[in-house]
Every structure is written in C-alpha cells, then in structure tokens.
A and B are shown apart, each in its own frame.
Chain A
Amino acid sequence: MSARSLTIEYNDKIVRQFMIASIIWGAVGMLVGVLIALQLNFFQLNFNTSFLTFGRLRPLHTNAVVFALVGNMMFAGVYYSTQRLVKARLASDFLSGLHFWGWQVIILSAAITLPLGFTRGKEYAELIWPINIAVALIWVVFAVNFFWTLARRHERSLYVAIWFYIATIITVAMLYIVNHLSVPTGLFHSYGIFAGVQDGLVQWWYGHNAVAFFLTTPILGIMYYFLPKAANRPVYSYKLSVIHFWSLVFVYIWAGPHHLLNTALPNWLQMLGMTFSLMLWAPSWGGMLNGLFTLRGAWSKLRTDPVIKFFAAGVTFYGMATFEGPLLSIKSVNALGHYSDWIIGHVHAAALGWNGFMAAGMFYFLVPRLWNKPLYSQALANLHFWLGLVGILLYVAAMWTSGITQGLMLNSTTEGGTLLSYPNFLDTLNTIRPLMLLRVVGGGLYLVGWLLMAYNIYKSVKGASAVNGTIEVVVEDDVPEEERPLGAMVTLWNPPVIFSALGTLFACVWMFGGPFLQIVGAIGTALSVMVAWVHFESKGKRWADWYERLLVSAAPFTVLTLIAVAIGGLVQIIPGIVSHQAASVEDRLQIPYTPLELAGRDIYVAEGCYNCHSQMIRTLVPDVLRYGDYSRLGESIYDRPFQWGSRRIGPDLARVGGKYPDSWHYRHMEDPRQISTGSNMPSYPWLNENDTDVAALPAKIRVQRMLGVPYAEMTSEEIQAAVDAQATEITAGLKAEGIYIAPDKQIIALIAYLQQLGNYETVTENVASRPNP
C-alpha cells in the first residue's frame, strides 16, 4: 500500500465573505421587518410612497431573511465544515467566487425589483423570471462546487452533516425549478405554468419545503458540525442521526398542503398534509435530541461560552417550532390559527430562534478561527444573547396572544351560533393593535442584539489578518474493499431500500386504491413492516454494514436521497396535472377576466395585496357567515398566480365583487379611513396617477391562451377597444357620483378586477365534458 502525505490549505476566504454578507444583509432584512411591523400600526410610515408600502416591502423582508441572511450563513457554514469534514479544499476557487458574487448580485437585484413592484406574487417565490434563472444557475454552481469537492475528498466516509447538505442541495434545486416554471410576457413579468389549485399546491409544496430544506436541513448539518466542535463532546447517537435524517427528508415533502387546510384544496391532499405533519414531529425532534444530548457533559460551558448559549437556545427553539408546526397542522387548530398572527409567531420562533441564533453561534465560533484573534468582547456577545432571547420571547408571546385573540373573535358567533359576534372585521384588528406594537419592541430588541454582534465582530477582525486553516492528510492510493463506493445494483438491491420501497408502495396502494386494492395495500404494508422488522432483528448487521458502505459512496447516497424527497411531491402533484382539469372544478367554473380586469389583477399582484388579503373562503361556518358561500376550486382555476393568501390582516376578498359601489372602492383606495374608520391599510394615491399598462396586454393574453385559458383570439386593437369600453363605463359611473378620473388610470383597472371577484358560471354537464383547453 503506497501512501503519501500532503498539506491542504482550506479556502476560508469564501467563508469569511459569506459570513460578512450574512451579517450585513441580515441587518437590512430585520430593519425592513421592523419598519413593516410599525406600518401595521402606523399606516403613514410608507410616506405615501409606492415602493415603501407594506405589500411590496413584506416580500423584501421575507426574501432578505430567507435567501440573504440564512442563505449566506448556510453557504459559510457548509463551505467551512465540508472542507474539514472531507479533508479537501473547495474544488474551485473560481466557482466559489462566482457563487459568492452571483448570490450577492441576486440579492441586490431582489432588493431593487421588489420595491418597484416586480413580482410573481407567490410567497418566497416573488422574484421575477430573469432573477429566477440566475438563482437556479448559481445554485448549480454551488452544487458543482460542493459535489466536486466531495469527489476530491480524502475522508471517504460522509459525516451526518454532509448528508444534510446533500439533501439541501438536490431538494432546493428540485423545488425551486418546479415552482418557478413560467412563461415570460415581457422582461419583468411572467405567468406560471400552474394555475389555481395546482399553483397553490405546488407553491406550498415549495414554500413549506423551502422551510424544510433551506432553513432546516442545512442548519441541522451546521449543528452537527459546529455544536460538537464547540462543546468538544461526541455526538449523542449515530443511530438517531440515521433514523431522523431519512425520516425527516422523506416525510417533510408530504406536509406542504397543511398551508391550505379547510380550503378548496381536495380533501385527500389536506389529509396528507395534516397526517404527515403529525408524523414529522418525532423526526424533527430527533435532530433536537441529538443536539441537546450532545451537550451532556458540557452544560457547564453554557454559563461561560456564548457559542454554546446560542446553540443550546437555537436547538431548543427548533424543538418548540417543530412541535408547534404539527399542532397547527391539525385541521381544527388550523381553523383558529390560520390567517392569523399565530403563524407569524410560529415562523419567527423558528427564524429568529433557530436560524438567527444558530447563525450567531456559528459566527462567534468562526471569528476567532478565521482571523486567529479572540473575540473582541464576550460581554457584548452575552448581551446580544440576552437581548435576542428577550426579543424573541416578547415577539412570540405577542403574536401567540394576538393570533389566538383575533382568531377567536373572528370565529365567535352569538344568538345560538347564527350571527357573528364581531361582524366588523376592524373590531378584531383594533383589538390586537397593542400586541402588534409589542412585536415591534421584541423585533427591535433582536435587531439591536444583531447590530451588537456586527460591532463586536467588526472590532474583533479590525486590524487582524485573515488566516486559512490547513491540514496534513495522508493519501492512500489503494482503497480497501470496504471503502469502495457501492455500485448501482447494491445501492438499490439491499434490505433497507427494498423494505422501504415495498412499504411505501403498499401504503400508497392502501391509501389511494379502490375497495379491493385497499385491502391488498393494508395487508402488504403490514407484511412489509413485519418482515422488515424480523429481518432487522436477525440480520441487523447486514443493514448496518450496507449503510457504512453507502456512506463512502457519495453518488449512490445522493441518488437515494433524491428518491426519498421526490416521492411525496410526485404523489401529490402528478394526479392534478394529468387529471381532466375541467372535470375537477366541483360545480363552478371561473369566468376568464376581461382584458381590463386582467390588467387590474396584475396591479393587485404587483402591489402585493395578497400579503394582507386572502381570496379563499374556507369550509368553516364563521368564514361563510362573514364572507359568503365557501370557495370552490373551480372559481380560481385560471388564476396565475393563485391568490388564496396566507394571512388576513384585512378581510377576505373572494366575493367582494359587487358588494360595494365603484365609488366605495375608489375612495377606499384613495384613503381607506374615509370609509373604514381605524383601518391600517395604506393609501394608494399613485393608482390615480399611474397609467394602466395596456400595451403589455396582448402578450399577456397570448401567454394565457397558450397556457389554456379559454380566451378568444384578440388583436391588439380589439384588446384596446375592450379596455376602453369597460374603463369608460366605470369612469362614467364614478362621474355620476362626483368623482372625476381618467379611464386610463390604474385605479380603474383595479376596480374592474375587484368588482368581478366572486363571479363564476355554474358548470353544466356540457361544460364539464368540454375537452381540456
């Protein structure tokens, strides 16, 4: 056996760059968060400027925190730990640099386009199509750089952190690409290929799993590296790592529909969303246990080491949030919590507590190592911790109270359940205002803590010279048999994979089969589990040996991970795509928008109205009493993007059409408080000044036709004529009410759109059997 020794210098420059970017963008993202939180109490704080309105800044806040703060932090952590775990320098300095600068350009372009109102109108997927392509490309750069590094590794066996990184890279690529498939209508605008309920399903398959595979799995990987390093303790249980990794990546993907409970989403999908969310509880807590139990024997450091403080609190918040998630996924709990501040509290417990604290712990760990100089001030870091902790607790407590209060008020009925106790939505909003203000205090404290960290790190590295880690590795040219990668056959043909595949297959047959197949599936599932159990009890060593071999086989490991994460999405999304669309509309079909209404809808999307208003009346009595008959999925079947919403800071708009006169909407958009005393909705004076973009309509309608919306073929002139006719009619009506406005202003298009919300045609046999457009 020949062996040679070689010295490797890690690429730590890229780690430093990503770390600093995360701190800076994180501060920006949180600052925007504090501003928009204040706007909810003081509507004047957009200064009547379109690009500072809540509807445009809220996407900026979420995107900044997810993609800029956590994204950059994740890249820093992944690059630092991977190099050390596989004993290899990052494969390409060029790709590393391209990854860094490409990502920053993406963030910068997001920070410019979102306030300008360029958006796709889907949460955490708002960025317009040219930026989508850039994100996908840079993600591929990241993937190539990462897997190439794995290919050049000197440590054959993959540590659990690397498993999570692999799952992150392939799953985010899959989710991002599918949810961003769209057809451009111009440089800044596109329509997604999915519409209505399909769009909703794909969006939350993406949105939920962005939480899973962008905010959770990479951070779990980071936890598995940095926490045992900082505590200087062995990881609690390898066995638990294996079980919770595979159950987490398999189960997470199925849980997306819990964002659409009690809506028009078909019930079987809602049930999958709820049950898989419940089953996700234990796998998530497996990660928390492995984190907290690793600290056994190191708890004394909790008093002295800020890094351990942040990690311990971060992992605890992870445990809290992943208990709360399943709880909120129970349909009856969701009826109360959905659309309310409870959800906001839930995500901030995770974002501030888990992501933010893990980031801070990691940065405090990295600074002395990357600059070879102790941290400037332990006291400041401790102050950061306590400010942050108090901030999170205030924030979360305020939002829980606010969400449950408003949920109870909105759902409360009186007179034997026949009347709403609070028919005026504003009564419920104004009740929670003090709590929304308390949230600003909590978030503000957290931001101050973050700025202290920035200052502390700045003082630490000022004047210090950056150092890169090095390591001596012994390279053995001859690889022993048990360290050679698995072939394709052994990857798939082995007890763990076979039994998992059989169990999943039979379980699907049981769930979705007809009466006979249900029995076959149930028996098959039970048999698979029992035989697997017996086999494991008697031949468990074979399972363990196979897994050890899998750990030295990066490509087979990646393939199995891809299979595990792909199944849930395939089962949920494919049926809706292949099934007859018109046949699945229940009893109602949406009437396609007129050109003016379509233009108005795009204004609605661009202004981010969906950030505060849902268009989905749930199958719940209080919803029906308040907003009218519950929404059928056929009523939004052509909507690109779907606008079902996720938060009701204002009332639902699914059936607002025809409820009020045009003049009501005009005055309400001009200054909502003219109509609704105490409203916190911003005024939209620029809608009276800006012209509707009629020139873009021919391209938009062409794309809609191409995607299957039954528009008649129209020339540009016909479109213009249709717009003019409808706009003139609306302006004439307004004039009769004493309102003088030109027909080409955006407000007219928006009124046209709002006034048709809730229109539908009843589906007859004839319509239902119409071929799929």
Chain B
Amino acid sequence: MSENEKPTVLPEDSKRKHVYDGIQEFNKRLPNWWLFTLYITIAFSIGYWFYYAQSGLPMSDGERVEAEIARIQTARLSSDLVIADANLWAMSRNEAFISAGKETYASLCAACHLPSLKGKSESIAAIGSDLTNGEWVHGGTPLAIYKVVDEGVLAKGMPPWGPTLGIKKTAEVVAYVLSYHEAPQ
C-alpha cells in the first residue's frame, strides 16, 4: 500500500528536514523482529563465549578429535576377523570377499597396479609391481601381503592402506589378489 494513501500521518512518518539531491528520508522505528534478531544473536554469542571459553566444561577441538580417533582405533582392533594365512586363503575362495575386494581394488589400487593386476609387467609406466606372477618382493605369504597393504612400503612407494581401509576391507583386497593364485593344498 502506498504511504500516500494513508489517511493520517503518523509521527514516525515524519520526514527529515534535509533533502539530499531530492532524496527524502522517513524516520520510521526499527521493526521489532529485526531488533529481536539482533538481540538474540548477541545473547547467543554471550552464552556461547561463556560456555566454550570460560566455563571449562567442553573439551578442546584437539582433545575431542583425539578421543574420537582413540575410540575408532579401539573399535578397529576389536574386529572379530582373524588375520592368518589359512583364513586369508579361505577368504580368497569366497565370492563375497572377492567381489568386495575387487571393488576396493578398482578404486584405490588399480591406479598403480593396473586393473589387470599385472602392473609393471603390462606397462613400463606402471608404478606398482605385478601381483599375478608369483614373484613377491616383500614376501608371498598371505600375512606378508596383508602386512604390505596394511602398513605400506614407503621406500617403494606403497602407501599404508590400513588406516584408510580398516581390517575387513584390507583383508578383502588381499583375498582378491590371492584369488589370482593357487591356494596351497
């Protein structure tokens, strides 16, 4: 509705006496909801500062993250998967483990070891070694392979995947690689 149509002129509709290049100014009161917004944000900020800076109650960000990471490590260690040569061979004959491992392999390992797992045997530009030819640079037992995936071999450029993958996914990937090999009788 136009201001001009109002029957009476409220006090707050008074205009300032100064006119700047033809621009006039009303002097209306501040909208209440606007004032409440201002007051609420100020009140919240005071409370927030008191709680986080002065009450001594909350943990610091660093402490909170360290506590959570410690919990995660405990949870990972209490996995009921048994990592041993026999188990890993058994997993490598299990379709569920192989297909889950294949998925992780495609996402993380194939870049260096190639989708075929043949790595340097297939292409000179590949960074990872061949995982299918039975030659193992760091030991060929399932546990040794697991250790390489888990802890990495920094000197050779193999990153440690354990922290990213956890025990189960690491085991799956090892099972997938082992599925290319004959299990001992």
Binding site for B on A (CB under 8 A): 81, 84-85, 87, 155, 157, 159-160, 225, 228-229, 234-241, 243, 247, 262, 267-268, 271, 274-276, 278-279, 281-283, 285-286, 289, 293, 296-297, 326, 415-420, 423-424, 427, 511, 518, 619-621, 624-626, 628, 630, 658-661, 663-664, 667, 674-677, 738
In the complex with contacts A85-B20, A159-B20, A282-B26 CB distance below 8 A: no
Q: Is the CB of A676 within 8 A of B111?
A: yes
By a CB distance below 8 angstroms, the chain A residues around B3 are 296-297
Q: Is the CB of B156 within 8 A of A271?
A: no
7 inter-chain pairs at a CB distance below 8 angstroms, sorted by A residue, are A85-B21, A159-B20, A267-B60, A289-B31, A326-B41, A619-B64, A677-B110
By a CB distance below 8 angstroms, the chain A residues around B24 are 228, 234-235
Closest to A619 in B: B61
Taking a contact as CB atoms closer than 8 A, the residue among B15, B107, B157, B169 that contacts A661 in the complex is B157
By a CB distance below 8 angstroms, the chain B residues around A626 are 164
In the complex with contacts A159-B23, A664-B127, A416-B75 CB distance below 8 A: yes
By a CB distance below 8 angstroms, the chain A residues around B16 are 238
Q: How far is the CA of A628 from the CA of B156 in the complex (A)?
A: 20
Q: Is the CB of A511 within 8 A of B53?
A: yes
B137 at the interface (CB under 8 A from A): no
In the complex with contacts A228-B23, A235-B25, A281-B41, A418-B65 CB distance below 8 A: no
Q: Is the CB of A237 within 8 A of B29?
A: yes
In the complex with contacts A237-B28, A621-B69, A418-B166 CB distance below 8 A: yes
By a CB distance below 8 angstroms, the chain B residues around A661 are 127, 156-157
Interface contacts beyond A281-B37, A677-B111: sample of 19 additional A-B pairs, CB < 8 Å, sorted by A: A229-B22, A234-B25, A236-B28, A237-B26, A237-B30, A238-B16, A238-B25, A238-B26, A239-B27, A267-B60, A278-B44, A279-B38, A281-B41, A296-B2, A415-B168, A423-B164, A620-B65, A663-B157, A677-B110
By a CB distance below 8 angstroms, the chain A residues around B68 are 621
Closest to A286 in B: B34
Taking a contact as CB atoms closer than 8 A, the residue among A228, A262, A423, A511 that contacts B108 in the complex is A423
Q: Is the CB of A84 within 8 A of B21?
A: yes
A318 to chain B, nearest CB (A): 15
Taking a contact as CB atoms closer than 8 A, the residue among B26, B31, B38, B107 that contacts A235 in the complex is B26
A8 to chain B, nearest CB (A): 12
Q: How far is the CA of A159 from the CA of B24 in the complex (A)?
A: 10
A330 to chain B, nearest CB (A): 10
Q: Is the CB of B28 within 8 A of A239?
A: yes
Closest to B74 in A: A418
Closest to B13 in A: A234
Q: Is the CB of B20 within 8 A of A155?
A: yes
In the complex with contacts A239-B27, A239-B30, A630-B49 CB distance below 8 A: no
By a CB distance below 8 angstroms, the chain A residues around B76 are 418
Of all A-B residue pairs in the complex, the 4 with the closest CB atoms, nearest first, are A661-B157, A275-B45, A282-B38, A619-B61
Q: Is the CB of B166 within 8 A of A415?
A: yes
Closest to A632 in B: B62
Q: How far is the CA of A81 from the CA of B21 in the complex (A)?
A: 9
Q: How far is the CA of A87 from the CA of B22 in the complex (A)?
A: 12
Q: Is the CB of B20 within 8 A of A418?
A: no
B101 to chain A, nearest CB (A): 14
B124 at the interface (CB under 8 A from A): yes
Output the residue of A85, A234, A626 with the most chain B CB within 10 A.
Answer: A234
Q: How far is the CA of A160 from the CA of B35 in the complex (A)?
A: 20
Output the residue of B37, B44, B108, B156 with the most chain A CB within 10 A.
Answer: B37
Q: How far is the CA of A416 from the CA of B111 in the complex (A)?
A: 28
Q: Is the CB of A235 within 8 A of B61?
A: no
B139 at the interface (CB under 8 A from A): no
B72 at the interface (CB under 8 A from A): yes
By a CB distance below 8 angstroms, the chain B residues around A229 are 21-23
Q: Is the CB of B157 within 8 A of A419?
A: no
By a CB distance below 8 angstroms, the chain B residues around A619 are 61-62, 64-65
B140 at the interface (CB under 8 A from A): no
Q: Is the CB of A240 within 8 A of B28?
A: yes
Closest to B124 in A: A738
By a CB distance below 8 angstroms, the chain B residues around A675 are 111-112, 127
Q: Chain B interface residue count: which class? A: 35 or more
By a CB distance below 8 angstroms, the chain A residues around B64 are 619
In the complex with contacts A271-B48, A620-B65, A239-B169 CB distance below 8 A: no
In the complex with contacts A267-B52, A660-B159, A419-B166 CB distance below 8 A: yes
In the complex with contacts A278-B41, A674-B125, A676-B111, A625-B21 CB distance below 8 A: no
B74 to chain A, nearest CB (A): 9
Q: Is the CB of B157 within 8 A of A660?
A: yes
Q: Is the CB of B49 within 8 A of A234?
A: no
A325 to chain B, nearest CB (A): 12
Q: Is the CB of A234 within 8 A of B20?
A: no
Closest to B69 in A: A624
Q: How far is the CA of A228 from the CA of B3 in the complex (A)?
A: 14
B154 at the interface (CB under 8 A from A): yes
Output the residue of B3, B20, B41 with the most chain A CB within 10 A.
Answer: B20
B126 to chain A, nearest CB (A): 9
B183 at the interface (CB under 8 A from A): no
Closest to B36 in A: A282
B42 at the interface (CB under 8 A from A): yes
Closest to B68 in A: A621
Q: Is the CB of B65 within 8 A of A630?
A: yes
Q: How far is the CA of A84 from the CA of B18 in the complex (A)?
A: 14
In the complex with contacts A229-B23, A511-B49, A625-B72, A285-B127 CB distance below 8 A: no
Q: Is the CB of B27 within 8 A of A268?
A: no
B8 at the interface (CB under 8 A from A): no
By a CB distance below 8 angstroms, the chain B residues around A628 are 163
B185 at the interface (CB under 8 A from A): no
Closest to A298 in B: B2
Taking a contact as CB atoms closer than 8 A, the residue among B28, B37, B48, B107 that contacts A427 in the complex is B107
Output the residue of B23, B26, B41, B111 with the most chain A CB within 10 A.
Answer: B23
Q: Is the CB of B61 within 8 A of A267?
A: yes
Closest to A739 in B: B125
Q: How far is the CA of A262 from the CA of B20 in the complex (A)?
A: 47
Closest to B115 in A: A677
Q: Is the CB of B30 within 8 A of A625?
A: no
Q: Is the CB of A236 within 8 A of B37?
A: no
Q: Is the CB of A419 within 8 A of B165?
A: yes
Q: Is the CB of A285 within 8 A of B37?
A: yes
In the complex with contacts A85-B20, A267-B61, A518-B54 CB distance below 8 A: yes
Q: Is the CB of B25 within 8 A of A279?
A: no
Q: Is the CB of B72 within 8 A of A417?
A: yes
By a CB distance below 8 angstroms, the chain B residues around A286 are 34
Q: Is the CB of B23 within 8 A of A630?
A: no
By a CB distance below 8 angstroms, the chain B residues around A87 are 21
Q: How far is the CA of A415 from the CA of B170 in the complex (A)?
A: 13
Q: Is the CB of B111 within 8 A of A240?
A: no
